[in-house]
Amino acid sequence: MVAKSINDTNGKELADLLRANAISFQDAMRAFAPSLTDDRGRVVTFTVAGADALVSRSMLPGYFAAKSALLSLVRSWAKVLAPRGIAVNAIAPGGIQTEMLRPLWENPELQQLMMPMVPLQRLGQPDEIGSVAAFLASEAASYINGQTIIVDGGLVT
């Protein structure tokens, strides 16, 4: 992830972010869509909380641009595969207690600064993301298509 301002993000870095997020999804969908089972196929990918709000980002603007492009592809593939009964959706996690965010959840001072922005006042747990993924992959979510489920403790609401 390139944690730079837009002024400091060069074209190669932006291209790398687009390649890792949007282009890789497009390539995977083109390769695997023909083999998905009609009337039961499910595709679930991951974006980031706030990527669906096309607003300027001072933090990680290239990353958010790449994740926004991914969401556009999710919606396009959802429409293309819908006649086959295949749903394509995304999960948009906020702060989840993973290794990537270890500095936040191990540092009380950082927690004091960040947690007031999250209405639930805590980081999410990995199993909370897993539960949403399992739901979207299930028959119970068969009428959900082209959507982004935000799992962020209320951060972007």
**Order of strands across the sheet that contains 42-46:** 42-46, 87-93, 148-151
Q: What are phi and psi of 63, to 5 degrees?
A: -65, -45
Q: Of residues 25, 63, 64, 77, which has the active-site annotation?
A: 63
Name the residue among 42, 72, 81, 50 with its Cα closest to residue 150: 50
> Exposed, middle or buried by CB within 10 Å (0-12, 13-18, 19+), for 137?
middle
Tell me, yes or no, if 63 is annotated catalytic.
yes
Q: Measuring CA to CA, which residue among 38, 121, 45 is closest to residue 82?
A: 38
Q: Which one, of 79, 81, 54, 82, lies nearest residue 68 by Cα?
A: 54
Provide the annotated active-site residues. Answer: 63
